[in-house]
Amino acid sequence: MPPHAPSALPSGPAGAPQLDVADALLTLLRDTTTEPRPDIQLEALTLAVAADLPVLLWGEPGIGKTAALTQLAVALDLPLTTVIASVHEPSDFSGLPVVGDDPAEQGVPMAPPDWAVRLVRAGRGLLFLDELSTAPPAVQAALLRLVLERRIGALRLPPGVRIVAAANPRSSAADGWELSAPLANRFVHLQWTHDHDVVVRGLGGTWPRATLPRLDPGKLAGAVDFARRAVCGLLAVRPGLVHRLPTGETRRGGAWPSPRSWEMTLCLIAFATAAGASQEVLSLLVRGTVGDGPGLELLASIDRMDLPDPEEVLADPAGAVLPERGDLRQAVLDGVVDAVRNRPEKSRWDAAWALLVRALETGAPDLVVVPATTLASLRREDWDVPAAIERLAGAVSLSRRADRAAERSGLVAKAGR
């Protein structure tokens, strides 16, 4: 039998070829919109991009890292160049040697890849280095100069090009490698997770809109001063945090403190301050640059930067404004007691008691127990007991009785086991 002749492509309604109908359906599925919506991950990412710092998004496969970068490029009107790091050779990033007419005279130039040439010609763009954790060590070594110095072969990427990378944890990466410590220390590490509400609304056709932070021109100088005081103030009293290379291979592939990462942290604090970013966004950026431990210490130090000076509080305890947050209020009270301990005088001792009474009247009573106990131990023999102590005695006594009751309950619970 003769072979059957190929049948004509089936047509849909109105005679349209089925592939054309399929394309129309795909167009409708891809037709989505964006809306302004609070998203601390996206805000942290855009702040780091605005600060021109390399960012590394960590997340499980399919979590939306690539989609977020694609949407970011569209929102910022930046041409997106995607490079899969794991399928390239080291020479693709360090440059391919090209022998000229007289190598002894002219040398051997290192020719850059075509995507780098396109970025330089455009003068701007978003370079997306995907699958970074599947790049072998030799490729990671070649990426060092690209990420830090922005050089590929003989070319230097223009200032208008931003660098963002993505990686999967080694446990879920295909033939994954741990990131080398030198490469990891060049990135701001952001953990990318999904938000249920964002995913549901996005699948319905509306995704969050990525926008660059609005920097207040009037805050720039103050933001730089604040960032320098924050970082330098912490490192002055915690010199061991200046450089701390983790011992484990896995932790070396993440965020850890070094002079380079502290410089990036300072930059991010300045940008976040000038943009009026939230504490949550600042926390993601700081911990993603120097690690969780040093980052949390820095955030706690920043909280205390705006606390009133103990000497000013002692000079006018009645007019002192105490923080609402319990930990900050406790820090103010402890600071005042320390100031009295360092320079014990009757007038200062009395002023501290007046402040504790004010704290008792305007906040949680348990916050004054430890400062009151410490302040009482600083009394000199010739100092009269101020009337304020009587007002605090009840709170201190009640707190101690509650502590003893809790202790007895704990002992009873242990005895019953």
> CA 240, CA 227: separation in Å to the nearest integer?
20
pLDDT digits (tens, 9 = 90+) for 252-286: 999 999 999 999 999 999 999 999 999 999 999 99
208 has pLDDT over 90: no
User: Are the C-beta atoms of residues 304 and 331 closer than 8 Å to each other?
Assistant: yes
> CA 148, CA 143: separation in Å to the nearest integer?
9
Identify the bridge partners of residue 96 per DSSP, sorted by sequence position: 111
> CA 62, CA 194: separation in Å to the nearest integer?
10
**Tokens at 32, concatenated:** 């989505």
Name every residue whose Cβ is closer than 8 Å to that of residue 77 and which is 6 or more positions away in sequence.
none
| Per-domain residue ranges of the chain | 34-97+108-208, 217-305, 310-415
pLDDT digits (tens, 9 = 90+) for 15-54: 568 888 999 999 999 888 888 888 899 999 999 999 999 9
Weakest mean pLDDT among 55-59, 297-301, 400-404: 400-404
Task: Give whole-number Cα distances, 139 to 32, 85, 134, in Å.
Answer: 37, 7, 10
* Confidence at residue 402, expressed as pLDDT on a 0 to 100 scale: 41
**Tokens at 19, concatenated:** 């592939």
- Which of 77, 155, 73, 160 is closest to 116 using CA atoms? 155
400 has pLDDT over 60: no
* Confidence at residue 267, expressed as pLDDT on a 0 to 100 scale: 97
Name every residue whose Cβ is closer than 8 Å to that of residue 167 and which is 6 or more positions away in sequence.
56, 57, 58, 131, 132, 133, 173, 179
**What count of residues does the chain have?**
417
> CA 55, CA 46: separation in Å to the nearest integer?
10
* Confidence at residue 398, expressed as pLDDT on a 0 to 100 scale: 45
Q: Tell me the fold of 34-97+108-208.
A: Rossmann fold (3.40.50)
Q: What is the torsional sign of CA 156, 149, 61, 63?
A: negative
Name every residue whose Cβ is closer than 8 Å to that of residue 12 and which is 6 or more positions away in sequence.
18, 20, 21
